[in-house]
């Protein structure tokens, strides 16, 4: 008998729902068999605020080490009347290996008391949590911190407090916690080169809770909290917003207001200049803080903060006062988007580009790290684990090094050149080892009301406004406001692994404007896949503690924040860079007025020039492995 398609579809949906429920039930039963589960424990902080905490620990009389995850995100076991098992799955993996798994909400989030402030939560909360856990009768006094993105960003600054129980950490995708490292000043991904990154404009709309949210009375017992949490998880649900349109609003200080989002935290952050004192009073890590914790760092090539992530690893390796701490820093760099390490497959696609089989035995390595530092096992982690594991796209292989960049990466300079017509992919811009002899500057018009659209890239958290990863840039290179500089066809393969440095000599007819660079791998058939990108606001070219405006007719030297990648340009490929003045909405538009920008709605059109000659050697420096 022929079964109607609609009946079959209903049956398959019902079957998949039942199967998922059975899977959820299975993991919960497996966890209950091996774990003592203690949920909605209200952990006290020194100021009397209590933070909601779930504890999962082995059924044993022995003292156990702790894997601790503190997060602004919702880990409640129930949502919309359904069981949620993500936390249970992570807890099961830890408990079956002999660890307690402790997850806690930051103050002001969900069942935790107090007021939340992005990157402004007191560092003492982390310190107090360590002290409380260390003193529990089931704890062996060793705590490891673990998490990705916002669950990682607090770890570095707290590690600088040097709590004796904080034995090790595994920060992943942690750039939002990095304020300043050397010359790189991003203040937690808010800036790049002095230009606002719009990811937090989008992220805050979805995550910030209203100050008028319902509060659980202090008299509520743990039993009350567990019961309440079954049907009331305190998770707000803002209406969906088309971020590709919302981020176009001007002035940018009103973007959250225009979406009817909660805006108190945003309002104060959007007005801060890159070196404002308030950036140094919250939870961000800055390079004058001493990290005294063994660390296993995880970054990814298409993350929003790959360069500061790698710079921080190097900073700790080179500057920690304790030689044992310097020697116990390890790094993994995957070819994925933000926090997407374990989503790699046999054929990993990042954007449109296949980067091959990018899988790695993450759990095996991480738990060996925990076993070493939290259990004190004399295992072979250090013998088996390279200092740096990085994935080289193009070759599509994992490689290893004892330092970053690899010792055999040598900086090689390529100079920009043209006959004054590098505009579009059909222009005559070149990249060459030879310095140009005379200055024939390339000119383009930057209209902030018609900015270059972000197409792919190293991004996070912008909703539907920007899709991250590698995309064929040929369609973008039809724009006249993009300058394109390309090498000759490579006669042999070239591996570029490390930091990419760039210097531009520029002039303009406005007081202030931005300059962007994008590094690209061009295939023989013309496909042009982006690798990394950066930007610099000209007014901050002499430092982020001052604003120096431009004069028409003057040529200025601008260093851009370094990019980073590991990519093999195969024989027959070409190396390319694109130069422009906007990459929107990844970065905010410069309205070119010389004003504060955040409170402006009208811009002026800029005529910008890139100079290249012996006197003005605009260049990009590539770390090439021989």
Predicted pLDDT at 17: 46
Nearest Cα neighbor of 329 from 347, 342, 311 is 311
Predicted pLDDT at 9: 53
Predicted pLDDT at 44: 97
Predicted pLDDT at 1: 45
Domain boundaries, the chain: 410-625
- Cβ contact 502:573 at 8 Å: no
DSSP conformational letter for 385? S
What is the rounded average pLDDT for all residues in the chain? 94
> What stretches of 470-601 adopt beta strand conformation (E)?
483-486, 494-508, 514-522, 528-537, 556-569, 574-580
Predicted pLDDT at 218: 84
- CB count in 10 Å sphere of residue 527: 17
What DSSP string runs through 174-210? -GGGEEEETTEE-TTTTEETTEEBTHHHHHHHHHPPP
Over range 36-45, report the average pLDDT.
Answer: 97
Predicted pLDDT at 6: 53
- Is residue 209 over pLDDT 80? no
The count of C-alpha atoms lying within 13 angstroms of the C-alpha of 506, restricted to the half-sphere facing its C-beta, is 31
Determine the Cα–Cα distance for residues 212 and 424; give it in Å rounded to an integer: 52
In the structure, what pLDDT confidence band is assigned to residue 32 with cuts at 50, 70 and 90? very high
Weakest-pLDDT range from 50-59, 74-83, 428-437, 548-557: 74-83
In the structure, what pLDDT confidence band is assigned to residue 21 with cuts at 50, 70 and 90? low
Predicted pLDDT at 90: 96
Over range 6-34, report the average pLDDT.
Answer: 67
SS3 percent helix, strand, coil of the chain, rounded to 5, is 25, 30, 45
Q: What are phi and psi of 252, to 5 degrees?
A: -65, -20
Determine the Cα–Cα distance for residues 195 and 299; give it in Å rounded to an integer: 22
3-class DSSP state of 500: strand
| Residue 217, token pair as written in the block | 């009375």
Alpha-carbon 392 to chain mean position = 19
Q: How far is CA 385 from CA 45, 69, 343, 389, in A?
A: 37, 24, 21, 8
- Is residue 366 over pLDDT 50? yes
94-104 residue pLDDT tens: 999 999 999 99
491-529 residue pLDDT tens: 999 999 999 999 999 999 999 999 999 999 999 999 999
Over range 87-99, report the average pLDDT.
Answer: 97
Say yes or no: domain 410-625 is CATH 2.60.120.260: yes
In the structure, what pLDDT confidence band is assigned to residue 248 with cuts at 50, 70 and 90? very high
573-620 residue pLDDT tens: 999 999 999 999 999 999 999 999 999 999 999 999 999 999 999 999
């Amino acid at each position: 008998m022929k079964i109607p398609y609609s009946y079959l579809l209903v049956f398959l949906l019902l079957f998949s729902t039942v199967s998922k429920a059975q899977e959820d039930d299975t993991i919960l039963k497996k966890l209950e068999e091996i774990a003592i589960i203690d949920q909605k424990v209200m952990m006290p902080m020194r100021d009397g605020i209590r933070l909601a905490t779930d504890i999962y620990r082995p059924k044993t009389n022995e003292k156990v080490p702790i894997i601790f995850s503190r997060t602004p995100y919702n880990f409640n076991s129930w949502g919309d009347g359904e069981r949620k098992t993500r936390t249970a799955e992570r807890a099961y993996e830890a408990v079956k290996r002999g660890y307690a798994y402790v997850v806690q909400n930051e103050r002001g989030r969900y069942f935790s008391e107090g007021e939340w402030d992005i990157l402004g939560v007191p560092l003492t909360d982390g310190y107090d949590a360590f002290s409380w856990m260390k003193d529990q009768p089931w704890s062996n006094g060793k705590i490891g911190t673990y998490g990705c993105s916002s669950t990682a960003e607090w770890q570095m600054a707290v590690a600088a407090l040097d709590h004796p129980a904080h034995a090790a950490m595994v920060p992943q995708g942690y750039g939002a916690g990095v304020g300043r490292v050397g010359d790189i000043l991003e203040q937690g991904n808010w800036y790049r080169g002095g230009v606002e990154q719009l990811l937090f404009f989008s992220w805050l709309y979805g995550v910030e809770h209203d100050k008028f949210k319902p509060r659980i009375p202090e008299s509520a017992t743990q039993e009350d909290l567990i019961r309440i949490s079954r049907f009331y998880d305190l998770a707000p649900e803002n209406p969906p917003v088309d971020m590709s349109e919302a981020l176009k609003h001007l002035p940018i200080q009103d973007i959250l207001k225009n979406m009817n989002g909660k805006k108190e935290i945003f309002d104060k952050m959007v007005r801060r200049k890159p070196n404002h004192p308030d950036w140094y009073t919250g939870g961000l890590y800055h390079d004058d803080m001493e990290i005294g914790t063994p660390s296993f760092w995880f970054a990814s090539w298409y993350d929003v903060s790959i360069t500061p992530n790698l710079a921080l690893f190097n900073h700790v390796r080179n500057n920690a006062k304790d030689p044992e701490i310097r020697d116990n820093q390890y790094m993994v760099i995957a070819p994925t988007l933000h926090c997407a390490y374990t989503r790699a497959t046999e054929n990993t696609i990042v954007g449109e580009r296949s980067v091959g089989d990018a899988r790695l035995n993450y759990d095996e390595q991480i738990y060996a790290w925990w076993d070493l530092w939290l259990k004190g096992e004399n295992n072979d982690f250090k013998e088996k684990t390279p200092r740096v594991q990085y994935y080289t796209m193009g070759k599509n292989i994992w490689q290893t090094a004892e330092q970053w960049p690899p010792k055999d990466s040598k900086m090689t300079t390529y100079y920009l050149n043209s006959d004054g017509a590098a505009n579009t992919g059909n222009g005559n811009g070149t990249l060459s080892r030879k310095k140009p002899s005379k200055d024939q500057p390339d000119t383009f018009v930057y209209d902030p009301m018609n900015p270059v659209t972000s197409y792919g890239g190293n991004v996070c958290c912008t909703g539907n406004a920007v899709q991250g990863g590698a995309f064929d840039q040929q369609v973008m290179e039809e724009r006249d406001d993009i300058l394109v500089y390309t090498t000759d066809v490579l006669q042999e393969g070239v591996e570029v692994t490390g930091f990419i440095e760039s210097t531009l000599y520029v002039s303009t007819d406005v007081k202030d404007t931005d300059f962007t660079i994008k590094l690209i791998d061009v295939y023989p058939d013309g496909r042009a896949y982006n690798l990394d990108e950066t930007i610099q606001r000209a007014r901050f070219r002499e430092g982020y503690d001052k604003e120096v405006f431009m004069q028409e007719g003057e040529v200025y030297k601008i260093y851009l924040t370094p990019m980073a990648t590991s990519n093999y340009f195969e024989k027959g490929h070409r190396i390319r860079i694109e130069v422009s003045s906007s990459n929107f909405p990844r970065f905010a538009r410069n309205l070119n007025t010389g004003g504060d920008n955040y409170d402006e709605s009208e811009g002026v059109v800029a005529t910008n020039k890139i100079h290249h000659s012996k006197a003005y050697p605009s260049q990009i420096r590539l770390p090439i492995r021989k």
